[in-house]
Structure 1
Amino acid sequence: MLTGKQKRFLRSEAHHLSPIFQVGKGGVNEQLIHSVQEALEVRELVKISILQNCEDDKHEVAETLANETGAQLVQLIGLTVVLYKESHKNKKLILPRA
């Protein structure tokens, strides 16, 4: 579980990132989950945008992505989701202590 201080740090790190995935009309599917898991292993911090034509609730999409990928939900602002998962091989981010 991330502390408030850690979430603030991750939000500041994610600010300059561009979304690399989009959730559209099809919603969250196995292919998307697999791709996000691979991206999290390489990058640790990922931004995902939810398109206007997505039929699912944005909170539901964010929770599903976080749960299925094993990541922490850092932020859901507007239609943008920020996820964090510590990498086993490509550790880049060092979180501040609680």
Structure 2
Amino acid sequence: MLKGKQKRHLRSLAHHLNPIFQVGKGGVNENLITQVEEALEVRELLKISVLNNCGEDKNDVAEEIAAGSGADIVQIIGNTIVLYKESREHKTIELPK
């Protein structure tokens, strides 16, 4: 679980990032979760865009993806979800204590 100071730091790092995944009318599936896990291992921090034609609520989508990939939800702003998961091999982000 991330603390407030850590979330603030991650939000500042994620500000310039573009979403690399989109959740549309297909919703969240096993393939999406697998790809998110792989991307998180390489990047640690990423954005996911929830499209307007997605039938699910963006908060539910964020919870599903975070639970499936073992990531922490940093922020949900508009239709964009920011996720963080510490990488085992490619650690680049140093969180404040």
TM range (shorter): over 0.9
Matched residues in 1 for 2:66 and 2:79: separation? Answer: 15
Structure 2-normalised TM-score?
0.99
1:96 has 2:96 as partner: yes
Shift of 1:82: 0.3
Matched residues in 1 for 2:78 and 2:35: separation? Answer: 22
Moved runs in structure 1, 4+ residues, more than 4 A? none
Matched residues in 2 for 1:48 and 1:59: separation? Answer: 12
Which runs of 5 or more structure 1 residues have no equivalent in the other structure? none
Give the corresponding residue for 2:48: 48
Give the corresponding residue for 2:71: 71
Matched residues in 1 for 2:58 and 2:47: separation? Answer: 14
SS of equivalent to 1:26? coil
SS of equivalent to 2:96? coil
Count of residue correspondences: 97
Give the corresponding residue for 1:58: 58
The percent of aligned pairs where both chains have the same amino acid is 67
Shift of 1:68: 0.5
- What is the root-mean-square deviation in Å for CA atoms of aligned residues? 0.3
Matched residues in 2 for 1:67 and 1:79: separation? Answer: 19
Shift of 1:13: 0.2
Give the corresponding residue for 1:39: 39
1:5 has 2:2 as partner: no
